[in-house]
Structure 1
Amino acid sequence: MRHCGVLGDPIEHSLSPVLHRAGYAALGLDWSYDAHRVSSGGLREFLAGLDGSWRGLSLTMPLKREAMALVDEASELAELGGAANTLLLGEGVVRGDNTDIPGAEAALRERYAGPVGHAAILGGGATAASTLLALARQGCRSFVLHVRDAARAAETLAAAERFGGLEVSIAPLDVAPEGDLLVSTIPATAQTPDLVAGCARVPVLFEVLYDPWPTPLAASAGDRVLVRGLDLLVHQAALQFEQFTELPAPLLEMRQAGEAALRERLDEGT
């Protein structure tokens, strides 16, 4: 049996096991995929404990940037973003990749086909960097990062500089965003009524969270275009699945499993 898994802290909320297991079931693969709580600073030890049956790892916060110092090889996208959400294991080599960037592109274009000239991003962490680069690859050249602490956006600014040709500025989180599209990477608990009201004029909303769902921002979308966190999760997971298994990902089955799991969580919460 081949083994894969998702690492992070917190990790209990992750739907990655649901998606990947659904993919294995659809293709008849006798593979395992589990969630493992690994805190900041613990990735090296976890990797050292793996045997040859392990094929791939998905990484979530706070490990995406930590991973870059531990991989033997890094893809161009991982280098560009300064973060790896995917580790491919084999023959004693750990290869890092970033499927968040193309996953965000696919999620956006699935819901919205129009141009994006100016985007606002709430937050400045690794996911903010990935979505910024995804939008840049789709032609967006102007960005404002809305953050509580400008220093925490330094690595995202560095990623934008590596891409080149982008105009990126910093604004406080309580300044109402403007533009063609708003990306939110901040926790649902930070989405205060005042913040949500200030975001109402942006016509396209990309909410990267999927749990809890809907977030206050997602709930306020109304008839605006809404790119969901589950859209991003499914597309980046499908790209990981294909790297791990070397088989085409059953996207429909993976999405249906994720949607069913979210509905179940919503029902349990009511």
Structure 2
Amino acid sequence: MLSGGRELEVWGDPIDHSLSPRLHAAAYRELGLDWSYGRRRVSEASFSGEFAALGGTLRGLSLTMPLKALAFEAAVTRNRHGELSGAVNTLLLTEGGPHGFNTDVAGIAADIADQGVPHAERARIVGSGATATSALLALEILGVDEVEVAARRPEAAQALVELGRRLGVRVHTVGLDGHDGRPVALTIATLPGGVDLSPSVADALAADGGLLYDVVYGHWPTALAQAWQCRGARAVPGIGMLVQQALRQVRVFLTGSDEEPLPAEATVLASMHAAVTEA
């Protein structure tokens, strides 16, 4: 049973930079809901205490890093992408316990589809961290058959190879400067915004990388985006992913499902986009 509460929060550490309150406020305003959405600084160490102290007023939580694995453990149920990734970014608080959802995966896939990328048999992921897992799951949604993972330490990406086997997607790993040179239609970059790549590595990735979809949106353009732009190729920041995953969180908080569309969803989505793109 869904909570009747009207209060929501986003937790993380750091949290002051989060755009989630603006996104959610825009959505609930468009939906005519008098709901509040706040932010709270919660670290890995303080998560269990903060979570245990919750009363019955909160309807749900959004979780940012480094709390997604802890939220996974706290959930009594999880959606498919939560189970496959080992991470949830959304908790719906109900009388039966917290239900976990990973909306990042569908958010990435939806925004890439909005970029008009044609069907890509091969794609590349740059990086091997937690976001790379969501990227691989998004590529499965998009029907990609083969994925090259370019990482500083290819051995650290073996979990992605194993996940690929479970998904029926061929995954192989290479060093950042060792990709096989075969062109791809799409590159998803999952490196943190401050990562410094050598110009030669960035240029080599750009030479045959198709569209660059960089999940970073706060440090734009990244070194990779600049390499793409120098070649006259298209590079897209991840702000649309942020909006799309938040839209699915709103679905969860309103309907209990991340797949059930909202009333007048196109209008809600437009308002959310405007909330983070207009000055």
Aligned length: 260
Match of 2:269 in 1: 251
Match of 2:246 in 1: 237
Match of 1:61 in 2: 65
| 1:29 pairs with 2:33 | yes
Question: Match of 2:206, SS?
Answer: coil
The amino acid across from 2:83 in the alignment is E
User: What are the residue-to-residue correspondences of 1:101-250 with 2, within 5 Å?
Assistant: 101-150=105-154, 152-163=156-167, 165-175=168-178, 178-194=183-199, 195-201=201-207, 202-222=209-229, 223-246=232-255, 247-248=262-263, 249=265, 250=268
Report the more deviating stretch, 211-220 or 120-129. Answer: 211-220
Greater Rg over alpha carbons, structure: 2
Distance 1:93 1:237 in 2: 22
Q: What is the CA-CA distance between 1:156 and the residue it aligns to? A: 3.3
The amino acid across from 1:254 in the alignment is M
Question: Match of 1:159, SS?
Answer: helix
* Distance 1:12-1:220 versus aligned 2 partners, 3 A rule: farther
Q: Deviations over 1:196-252 (max 9, x none)?
A: 322222121111111123323334443434343111011111011111123445100
* Distance 1:120-1:90 versus aligned 2 partners, 3 A rule: same
Conserved 8 A contact 1:108-1:227: no
Give unpaired runs (5+ residues) of structure 2: 256-261
* Distance 1:54-1:187 versus aligned 2 partners, 3 A rule: same
Report the more deviating stretch, 93-102 or 77-86. Answer: 77-86
Distance 1:126 1:232 in 2: 15
Q: What is the CA-CA distance between 1:70 and the residue it aligns to? A: 1.6
Report the more deviating stretch, 204-213 or 3-12. Answer: 3-12
Question: Match of 1:190, SS?
Answer: coil
Report the more deviating stretch, 18-27 or 145-154. Answer: 145-154
Distance 2:64 2:75 in 1: 16
Distance 1:160 1:3 in 2: 38
TM-score (ref. length: structure 2): 0.85
The amino acid across from 2:241 in the alignment is L
Identity %: 39
